[in-house]
Amino acid sequence: MALAGNPERAGQAGATQLLINPYARSSGMGGLNIANCYGIESIIINPAGIALTRRTEFVFSHTRWLVGSDININAFGFAQGFRNGGTLGLAVVAFDMGQFERTTMDNPDGGLGYFSPTILNISLSYAKVFADDRIFVGSTVKFIHESIPDAAANGVAFDAGVQYRDKQGNFKLGVALRNIGPQMRFRGEGLSARVNISGAGGTFTNAMHTPAASFEIPSVLLLGASYRIGIGGESEIKAREASSGGTGGATDYLFSVVPMIGFYAHSFQNNQLGAGIELRYKSYFMVRGAYLWEPDLTNKDQAQNAFNGINLGATVELPFRTGENRYSSFGIDYSYRPTYFFNGTHSIGARLYL
């Protein structure tokens, strides 16, 4: 019997928020755009894609994660291209988990107020273009922080990725390795308690520390491919779209159809295989959809992912003149991912390319 992924290790990793895509544009494809992701959103999928930001890019995104769970995710990204073909990117993802009632060993019923956990990921990426805009290579270092009152865990992880594109920019391949790093462990005074110890000399109070177990982070290998099918001749706005970021080098057709496939090899859960398609009108309007499959997906008691496989999204992006023969663009993105539990996940974002 062939088993996909490592189901026997499911639930043993920590910092699993590293697998969550908070960005509206790429999450509408279920993260399957491993080969053709571009811009700062690539930092969460394949860091090689940020090399396509040749000037300055800002991205803001808000996600209502598993509606009904009161979890919200805010993400910010910034990328700056340089004349040497390199691009530097910074991304910050903050999780709002809501409030929890504070309890202790002496007060298990609460009454001590409330607290809010802190979960924060900060990523710094660098990518560069090689071989006449056909090969893109990128890497990321991520700083991970999780904390509750009097206890916290900090860690670091690394990503690396490569993208290849043919001369016309139609056929694309992508490979990325994400979340490689040392184990993490919670530390802090919250893991200590004062206990009474009786001995020959009487009873005295002493502090007892309970060390927390260390945990691994969820590493994953990504493989993907896509092919652009162009409909209609080159348009007169090709140059202006290319200068404003466009759609990652896919702006020379009036209409484009981009089918893509992707594979996620997880270390701590079932592997995932998916296919999707994106329909584009120039770089102004895009709709996308994908289906991400895993073993036992239709069995709620066996599936290891809350999503039921479907991912949907859309983008509206408008260029505007910022100088002679220079155009920038502003885009609005939205994605929806149905789930088995709660009421799905909604993401909305804004992208500014200057």
Residue 209, in any domain of the structure = no
Helices (H), 187-292: 238-243
CATH number of the domain that residue 116 is part of: 2.40.160
**What pLDDT was estimated at residue 1?**
39
Residue 135, in any domain of the structure = yes
Residue 238, in any domain of the structure = yes
Residue 59, in any domain of the structure = yes
Residue 330, in any domain of the structure = yes
pLDDT tens, per residue, the chain with 354 residues: 344 455 556 667 888 899 999 999 999 999 999 999 999 999 999 999 999 999 999 999 999 999 988 899 999 999 999 988 899 999 999 999 988 888 877 788 878 889 899 999 999 999 999 978 889 999 999 999 999 888 899 999 999 999 999 888 889 999 999 999 999 999 888 777 777 776 666 666 766 777 788 889 999 999 999 999 988 765 444 444 444 454 554 446 889 999 999 999 988 888 889 999 999 998 899 999 999 888 766 665 666 667 778 999 999 999 988 887 788 999 999 999 998 788 899 999 999 998
**What pLDDT was estimated at residue 14?**
84
Contact 353, 247 (CB under 8 A): no
Residue 164, in any domain of the structure = yes
Residue 210, in any domain of the structure = no
- Please report, for residues 12, 47, 177, 211, 347, the alpha-carbon distance to residue 139 in angstroms, rounded to integers and kept in the order given: 26, 6, 9, 34, 25
Question: Of 340, 319, 311, 275, which Cα lies nearest the Cα of 23?
Answer: 311
Question: Of 316, 319, 321, which Cα lies nearest the Cα of 348?
Answer: 316
Contact 202, 234 (CB under 8 A): no
Domain that holds residue 296: 7-190+217-353
DSSP 8-class letter at 184: B
**What pLDDT was estimated at residue 283?**
82
Residue 203, in any domain of the structure = no
Distance CA 274, CA 272 (A): 7
The total domain count for the chain is 1
